Amino acid sequence: MAYDIHTTKQGHSAFFPSKSPLNELLRTRGIESIVIVGAVTNVCCEASARDAAELQYKVTMISDALIGQSPELDRATLTTFFRCYGDVRPAVNMLEIL
């Protein structure tokens, strides 16, 4: 049975070594894919998404479930992430996949 994992991060990225136990918690459960939602798109969300991708997770950022400092910065972050690191989808599309 699946259950939520709760942890606290001590920096911008939830996956940066020594700043959060999230990577270890997910690995011990065999989790390979993650979905990023939240705030701030171009700071914490982007840092977590990039670090997760570098750790070989399949990462999807949910474009309409993120909020940043401006629409322009959101767009730039999501464009770069999609080109270099992982997937970007609207929530309705992700729900269809799940």
- The pLDDT > 70 percentage for the chain reads 98
Other CB atoms within a 10 A radius of the CB of residue 78 amount to 22
Query: Smallest Cα–Cα separation from 66: which of 92, 90, 41?
Result: 41
Does pTM surpass 0.75?
A: yes
What is the tens place of the pLDDT at every residue in 39-71?
Answer: 999 999 999 999 999 999 999 999 999 999 999
Kindly report the CATH class assigned to 22-97. alpha beta
Q: What is the largest CA-CA distance in the chain?
A: 40
pLDDT band, very low/low/confident/very high, at 77 (cuts 50, 70, 90): very high
For the chain, the residue count is 98
Domain ranges of the chain: 22-97
